[in-house]
Structure 1
Amino acid sequence: MQRPTLFFLHSLGASRDEWRDVIATLEPQFECVALDVPGFGTTPSAGRLDVIALTDWFCAEVADRAPPCWFAIGHSMGGKIATLAAARSRDGLLGLAGLGGVILIAASPPSPEPMDPARRAEMLAWFGSGAPQRQHAETFVDNNAASMLPPALRERAIADVLRSQPEAWAAWLLRGSRQDVADAAGTLHVPALIMAGAEDGDLGADAQRRLNLPHYPAATLECIPGAAHLLPYEAPHDVARLITLQVEHSQARRLPDDFMRLLNSNRVVPRMRSRLLQRHAGPAPDARGVLSDGQRAVLGALAAALLDGQADGLDLARRIDIALANEEGDGWRFADLPADVAAWKTGLDMLQQMDFGDLPTSGQAALLTAIARGAHPLAPDSAFSTAQLAHWFEDARATVVRTWTSLPSTFALMGYDGFAVGGDGRHSLGYTHTEADHGEDWQLRGARP
């Protein structure tokens, strides 16, 4: 697989140079792309002066490269842009499907950024007549660090402030930091890491917990001691270490590159792309099911047995459990069975009483075969008769297999590409070749010879 691509977005008054020491640790393990946000570093603002325009710019940068696996890493101002880009990936925007996670560093939230009005006015005054004086840049850098930066790093940070474009600086303080895009960000079910400096003021751990964490149910929050707001300068090795751990952890759920390239193509409509990404992400961490821990464990063992170990049984069990809680069944069941939730609870309890989870693979197969045939002996007072248990097991088999085959990871394994027909009705690209054993260049091969 191709190395994950890490996109770095800097803070107000900085440039891609603030990531230099962080990236030195991360390469060559990862493909690192540090960008100058418009109006800073070497990139002209070109009228891109609010959060929406800056997000448009960043999404275009990602889509131009269309990496099969990428991460958005945003510091302060850049964090707000990263969050909105993640929302567009969730919504199926072309070229962004490979998002593996978001890493926020002392990040500005989607809601208005907390900032003392007097400090905002002071910073605006620095650029009131054009470029600021050096003493203003020094004040800005020194006030955002827990202690004085080493001379070389301090000079680099000061130089970035001095070359910031006045219109971009003012636009962020007057508009970008105040824009409320929390509704557009919504809830983001992607792996996320949020870092905060223990000595940071407005955007410290408490602010991150209150303003950014609610958008990322699967996020973890790390507080870095001895640092304030300029984490890439103050603690580059800690930042690089935490980024590495987060990216490596997220790789376990990564989809194959060829599948992601197809999902990222214009053959897939945004609605389908969004649906598949949400399906791959799975239920929200706080989603509640209806099964007990014991019932869910038995269901996990059952799913693994039915699929010959080709799937994560516990993941499937949780998906089915949440679907039961949401009443997502197909509405059909055998006439001799109770409603879905009661049927599943009863069937799983009976398997648990048979010690299904503790049986060896061969024993599980023999037991399930007997149940399917209605041949497994049951006590007269059993909750289900042999016929009812066979009927429930038939429903259970269908549900497990249907759930598994609906997952993008299974699509990739099988080489299924029917989702990539490119449009609706007469606008659909469809297939050119439909005969057996004659695929097209864009199609997946999967497990086919």
Structure 2
Amino acid sequence: MAGRSEISDQKPDTLTMFALHFLGGSAREWQPLVDRLAGRVDVIPIDLPGFGDAADLSGYTVDAMAAYVAGRIREHAPGRWILAGHSMGAKVACAISRMSEDGDAGLAGLSHLILVAGSPPGPEPMDDAKRQEMLGWFRGSEAENRADAVRYIKANVGDALPDPLQDGAIADVLRTRHAAWLAWLENGSREDWSARIGRLDTPALILAGETDEGLGADAQTTMMVPHFRTVQMTVLPKAGHLLPLECPDAVADCILDVLASQSHGEPSLDAEYRALIQSPRVNERTRQVLRDRLETVAPHPDVLDAPAMALLRLVVERLVPQQGERQIDLAARMVDAMATASGDGWRFADLPADAEALRRGLQILDHAACSLDRGGFAALSPKQRDTLLGDIANGRSGTTGPETSLSPQQMKRWFEDLCAAATQMYVAHPATQDRLGYSGIANRGDGAGPAGFVHVGLGEREPWEPLSKAKTQP
């Protein structure tokens, strides 16, 4: 178990999003997002050293750029904030997230990372011939340099940009300090931060363009996704590498969706229900069990690695939808029960042991999703996810042959197990019991404590029983 969950019920401060640009870009690339998120997210784009209005600043390593951006963030002293990084900026964003999680002063409150066609923590996958070509750009006449900039921008989009956006992007490339351009291609893109970044707890939204050959879905899945405990990836159709300029509406929608759906911590208890748990009407053994269930759980990479864990969370979201910012991490609790052997020990006889069955089932599920979309289950729409899960529930999806396979009938049983485990974890959590006004925990205290229930007739309730806070759906 990790530390006990003690989450404030105060309304969070206005959400601020700091945004970092791509190689050759500037803060101006985020203006379409500034406009579309206005009133909901306060977007503050930042020019990295050597680019845009910061072209005269030095410090082109990932470490130096991260330190510079961290200083800018501290100047704003945000409450709850998110950090967006595009391409080169995504690698810098990962470094800042690590600083925040390590407790660096002035960086508390980071709630999400938005990584857009991101350069990964490890060396960026780039063809050597392409790297050498780009290193040779911007060394000629003004006309030749402009031709290089036009070639660069046009090669990185799916469909052509509107003229104002294309002209602005080309102008940004041309005002880039040449030393900064060379530094990223020769060194920054090759820096290996994999071990230093490790696996981050900050929830991440990863966006990839369908036609992005260098940093598209495949690169994000293999090189970026494994660095996050909680991650969601979306592939944007017909888009290339310059997503904030190509499809700002879709990017804005993805950001708002993930902020609305992902947890900002698990839910806490209302004072009334907390007092009931502490009251002499609840025996100490029950009280301790409830306290244990309020604790957050540590990841267990020996059971599921980061990509599989992210996939499980997406599946569980469809099985047990939760409302509000704070949501119970049911997937983590299910895996923790397997790792600590604290479950009920029950399983279908024709399924492998729980952990092995979970891994196999998730692999088969994602493989089936890949036949629908190259980005796998994470790239499917909610309706597509539900359809695929429905096929599994009805015994219409599975594989046969390899040892790692599960037949459609086994996948059906696997899905039944998954639904039962997710529901059990949800109902057993004290926050759910608080929401439902469940008073069965107060059946009797220890020793001479108060008796449990006296009024047991239909419609009768004890004066100390909590009321349900759940809203009835129309």
The answer to whether the superposition gives a TM-score over 0.5 is yes
Match of 2:255 in 1: 243
Change (3 A) 1:4 1:130: farther
C-alpha contact 1:111 1:179 (8 A) present in aligned 2: yes
Change (3 A) 1:373 1:286: farther
% of aligned pairs identical? Answer: 36
TM-score normalised by structure 1 residue count: 0.61
Match of 1:445 in 2: none
C-alpha contact 1:198 1:228 (8 A) present in aligned 2: yes
CA distance in 2, matches of 1:362, 1:75: 46
1:64 to 53, 56, 75: 75
The secondary structure found in structure 2 opposite 1:133 is helix
CA distance in 2, matches of 1:153, 1:362: 56
Is it true that 1:364 corresponds to 2:440 in the alignment? Answer: yes
Letter in 2 for 1:283: A
CA distance in 2, matches of 1:90, 1:81: 14
C-alpha contact 1:218 1:285 (8 A) present in aligned 2: no
Change (3 A) 1:100 1:372: farther
C-alpha contact 2:300 2:339 (8 A) present in aligned 1: no
C-alpha contact 1:130 1:166 (8 A) present in aligned 2: no
Comparing 208-217 and 367-376, the one that deviates more = 367-376
Deviation at 1:324, TM superposition (A): 9.9
1:207 to 219, 226, 237: 219
CA distance in 2, matches of 1:43, 1:313: 40
Change (3 A) 1:89 1:130: farther
Match of 1:191 in 2: 203
The secondary structure found in structure 1 opposite 2:158 is coil
Deviation at 1:64, TM superposition (A): 2.1
List per-residue Cα deviations over 1:18-44 (Å, max 9, x = no partner).
111111000121111001111110103
C-alpha contact 1:356 1:364 (8 A) present in aligned 2: no
Alignment of 1:104-143 (within 5 A): 104-128=115-139, 133-143=145-155
Alignment of 1:378-417 (within 5 A): none
Question: Which entry has the higher C-alpha Rg, 1 or 2?
Answer: 1
CA distance in 1, matches of 2:149, 2:332: 53
Change (3 A) 1:73 1:361: closer
Match of 2:299 in 1: 284
Match of 2:174 in 1: 162
C-alpha contact 2:24 2:173 (8 A) present in aligned 1: yes
The secondary structure found in structure 2 opposite 1:253 is coil
Deviation at 1:356, TM superposition (A): 9.8
Deviation at 1:323, TM superposition (A): 8.9
C-alpha contact 2:139 2:145 (8 A) present in aligned 1: no
Gaps of 5+ in 1: 257-278, 290-311, 327-339, 346-351, 377-449
CA distance in 2, matches of 1:356, 1:10: 44
CA distance in 2, matches of 1:195, 1:59: 23
CA distance in 2, matches of 1:44, 1:181: 25
- Measured on the aligned residues, the alpha-carbon RMSD in Å equals 3.8
Deviation at 1:116, TM superposition (A): 1.2
Match of 1:395 in 2: none
TM-score normalised by structure 2 residue count: 0.58
List per-residue Cα deviations over 1:34-84 (Å, max 9, x = no partner).
011111101035330111111111111112222111111000000000011
Is it true that 1:20 corresponds to 2:31 in the alignment? Answer: yes
CA distance in 1, matches of 2:229, 2:120: 15
Change (3 A) 1:15 1:321: closer
